[in-house]
Each structure stands twice: as C-alpha cells, then as structure tokens.
C-alpha cells in the first residue's frame, strides 16, 4: 500500500533510510536500480525529471484523484 503523493514536496528525506534528500535525487542515476524494478525502460531526461518533480510538487488536497489503470505496469506486482 504505497503512501499518498499529497504533500510529497514537504516529505523529505525520501527512500527507505532517507537516502534521497530531494525529489530530483530520487530520479537521479544513484537510484537507477529502484527505477528499473518497475520498468527497465525508465530513463528520464533532465527535462523529464524537471517536469515530473513539478507535477509531484503540484499535488495537493485539491488535486483530482485518478483511478489506476489495469495493466498500466508491465510487471506482476503480486508475485
């Protein structure tokens, strides 16, 4: 059961032991094995990281929830 993304911009540090101090750091090559756990094709550009961080920081209590899409991830997380 993953945590909510509401207020993620005030939740630093991140990762298991607080190893990432910023959202940008989470998306850096340092944590590439974590990214690749869900998608071997996850290789964001600097612009992608900037856009994703801006999006994550915009999520607040007024954001419209989006229902998950069945089959959106190419791995079986229930194994």
CA distances for 75 relative to 10, 39, 50, 69, angstroms: 30, 8, 26, 13
- Lowest mean pLDDT, pick from 8-17, 51-60, 66-75: 66-75
Which has more confidence, 36 or 48?
A: 48
- Rounded to two decimals, the pTM is 0.68
Residue 65 corresponds to which tokens in the numbers above?
Answer: 């929830």
Secondary structure letter of residue 32 according to DSSP: H
List phi, psi (to 5°) of 78.
-95, 10
- Count of alpha carbons within 13 angstroms of residue 68, beta-carbon side: 5
pLDDT the model gives residue 54: 92
Q: Which helix (H) or strand (E) holds 56?
A: helix 46-58
């Amino acid at each position: 059961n993953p945590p909510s993304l509401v207020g993620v911009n005030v939740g630093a540090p991140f990762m298991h032991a607080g190893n990432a101090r910023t959202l940008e750091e989470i998306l850096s090559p340092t944590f590439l094995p974590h990214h690749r756990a869900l998608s071997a094709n996850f290789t964001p550009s600097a612009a992608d990281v900037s856009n994703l961080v801006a999006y994550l920081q915009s999520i607040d209590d007024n954001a419209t929830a989006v229902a998950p899409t069945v089959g959106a991830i190419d791995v079986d997380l229930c194994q």
